[in-house]
Amino acid sequence: MKAAVVTSFSEVLEVGERDIPEPGPGQILVRLEACGLCHTDIHAARGEWPVKPSLPFVPGHEGIGIIEKLGAGVTGRTVGERVSIAWLGSACGACRYCVDGRETLCEMQQNSGYSIDGAFAEYAVASAAYAVPVPDGITSIDAAPLSCAGVTTYKACKVAQVKPTEQVGIFGIGGLGHLAVQYARIMGGTVVAVDIERAKLDLAADLGAEHLVDSAVVDPVAAIQALGGLDVAVVLAASPRVFEQAFASLRRGGRLVCVGLPADDGAMVIPIFETVLKGITIIGSIVGTRQDLAEVFALHATGRTRVVTETRNIYDVNDAIAEVLSGKVPARLVFDYVTVPATV
Ligand code: NAD
Ligand code: ZN
Ligand code: ZN
């Protein structure tokens, strides 16, 4: 099978042939149809975070494909079923977090495309219990970004408890942000979209954002405070400075939701006096549960969200990464393993 492999944190990915993996007990073999390129895959390939993946590894955690084989003891999944391979590759199912509905905090979890091989390949093995079924009526190309960008921003809006009449700032209108705009609106919020690229802001307006702030041209804090400030700020740009701008854009009772993951441990300065006096809440939010993803798929299947993508060939993975880093791609790039012939 063809696979894109990270062999070194300082080299580009190598695309080549690998053996098709065998599903072990409790696992399934999935023939992939599509996989999105999340910015997390770029952080992973460069080893930018404090906890690094072990080399070599196959990135990719927005994988959508068809089950081709069941490992020993698998029940509840069938050959031919379409599933999503998301960041939460598996969890223990028994700890306090797994049991009380916070499985994404499980300390025993495995992460697709990070601690275990992911979906930048024609085939991947996955834990049967953690592969989420994809309902009919959603294309695999749309389902791919929903599997991380979608579920992560849906969850971020959920944990922020966005209410109708509240003003919600979305900082970074990329793969995650273009879906965040839509979930914030579905929950009733008025959206302020913030980015440094005009085209991204135009897309946000198209998707329903009421206010646009171009941080490359204006001071975002002054512009947002002139709009009355934010009840909720969801930060998706991977730069500590943007978190500080988002914090300073909050009004009293505001919630800062940290989602973007800057390199290293990404420290920001929080003024304690202001946090106390304004009653600010700071929340970290990591992807979403299998149930959150099922809800994201259900919303999309009923036509409530729009996924903006362009497809690429997995052989062009390094060019695709450069495109994302340039800030010029519209929302999400998705590797299409079905209609784009993979040629060298
Ligand atoms: P992306 O590259 O598609 O989007 C990032 C966006 O931020 C771009 O539109 C870019 O123009 C914009 N941006 C850059 N600098 C900015 C600035 N100064 N002000 C405003 N906007 C700015 O990336 P993505 O795939 O959407 O991922 C975003 C981040 O979220 C990454 O760090 C990724 O690792 C992280 N992430 C976190 C989770 C989680 O569970 N917490 C899940 C997925 C991704
Ligand atoms: Zn992701
Ligand atoms: Zn657990």
pLDDT at 344: 46
Band of residue 340 on the pLDDT scale cut at 50, 70, 90: low
Residue 196 CB–ligand 1 contact under 6 Å:
yes
Is the pTM above the cut of 0.95?
Answer: yes
DSSP label at residue 159: H
Helices 151-159, 290-301: axis angle to 10 degrees equals 110
Which stretch of 45-49, 208-212, 217-221, 263-267 has the lowest confidence by average pLDDT? 263-267
CATH of domain 150-284: 3.40.50.720
Confidence at residue 264, expressed as pLDDT on a 0 to 100 scale: 81
Q: What gap in Å lies between CA 87 and CA 105, rounded to an integer?
A: 12
226: left (phi over 0), alpha (psi -120 to 50) or beta: alpha
* DSSP letter, residue 114: T
Q: Which H/E stretch holds residue 119?
A: none
Residue 265 has pLDDT above 90, yes or no: no
62 alpha carbon – ligand 2 mean position (Å): 7
Candidates 40, 41, 152, 158: which one to mutate for ligand 1, based on the most atoms within 8 Å of Cβ?
A: 40
**Residue 61 near ligand 1, beta carbon < 6 Å:** no
Delimit the domains of the chain by residue range: 2-133+308-336, 150-284
Angle (deg, nearest 10), helices 198-206 and 175-186: 30
Q: What confidence tens digit (pLDDT) does each residue in 64-118 have?
A: 999 999 999 999 999 999 999 999 999 999 999 999 999 999 999 999 999 999 9
Does pLDDT of 256 surpass 50? yes
CA of 39 to the centre of ligand 1 (A): 7
Q: What is the DSSP string of 66-81?
A: EEEEE-TT--S--TT-
Q: Which atom of ligand 1 is nearest to the CA of 194?
A: 20
Q: Mutation test of ligand 1: which of 38, 51, 332 has the most ligand atoms closer than 8 Å to its C-beta?
A: 38
> Is the CB of 286 within 6 Å of ligand 1?
yes
pLDDT digits (tens, 9 = 90+) for 158-193: 999 999 999 999 999 999 999 999 999 999 999 999
Mean pLDDT of the chain: 97
Q: 237 in ligand 1 pocket by Cβ < 6 Å?
A: yes
Measured in Å, residue 226 CA sits from the centre of ligand 2 at 33
For 295-320, what is the mean pLDDT?
98
Q: Say yes or no: CB of residue 258 within 6 Å of ligand 1.
A: no
Mean of the pLDDT values across residues 253-264? 95
Let me know how long the chain is. Answer: 344
> What is the structure's pLDDT at 266?
84
Q: What is the pLDDT of residues 17-35, one digit of tens each?
A: 999 999 999 999 999 999 9
- Domain 2-133+308-336 belongs to what architecture? Alpha-Beta Complex (3.90)
Mean pLDDT across 317-341? 93
The Cβ-side half-sphere exposure at 66, using a 13 Å CA radius, reads: 8
